[in-house]
Structure 1
Amino acid sequence: MGEAADPSELLGGFDHFSSDRKRLMLGTYLAVLGAMPHPEIDLTGLDHHGHATWVEVGLCAAKILNAHGRGRPQLVPDRDRRFLVERLRAGRRGVWEANVGAHLFALLAVHEFDPGNRLIHDGIEA
């Protein structure tokens, strides 16, 4: 696939209060695609609560995807897995809150710890 991508280079001089979060999300997307290794971050300190709902879902999914991608699923507490599943279940629309990115990220994360979950099938069909 070529050289590994670097989220910091791709985002250039992007300076915003959410820059670190955006680098994490981009790095996770690239890792899931196989373009780079999963970001080395302290997953135990990553708190997804207190943000907009789509950000909470995205950060929770990123935490799960990075933990599993680094071979350390034990870094994700069961409450985070339940949070993600509950958010997907609570969605009243086909695509969670009409946010395709958060929706797909969440489906990928659920697939890591519960690949047979009906939410994945239903979410793909949405």
Structure 2
Amino acid sequence: MHVVDEYCSNTPFVPVPTFVARPIPANGLRQFYSWLSNVWESWFGVHSKLGIDYAIYRTVSGRLEWGIGAVTARAVGLMADLTAMKALRTTRTLDFIKLEARLESLAVEEHVRPRI
């Protein structure tokens, strides 16, 4: 859900965000406009073809667009998405490491051994 919220937020991926603020989907929705069906679709719709027939990427301006296959994909948008998603992964991995260290520290303070 977190990645979907980042995609649906108004924060552009260029320049690469720091990902320190909680993402808020634009209009509170996790939707994208499908040029195939000409309607707004949910990322998690039962009949969605997202990930099967097409993929989502953000434009440099921050809007969500879709692409069918490699032919219509725009390299600049895809590279911006990839760079942003790598930064998000790095940020969340570091967040996890910090949380793990804090919890281990609290366990030691309480004289409780962490379970492995």
More contact order relative to length (CA 8 Å, sep ≥ 6)? 2
Compare the two structures and name the one with the higher strand fraction. Answer: 2
TM-score of the alignment, normalized to the shorter chain, above 0.5: no
Tell me the TM-score normalised to structure 1 length: 0.27
Tell me the TM-score normalised to structure 2 length: 0.29
Bigger radius of gyration, 1 or 2?
A: 2
Compare the two structures and name the one with the higher helix fraction. Answer: 1
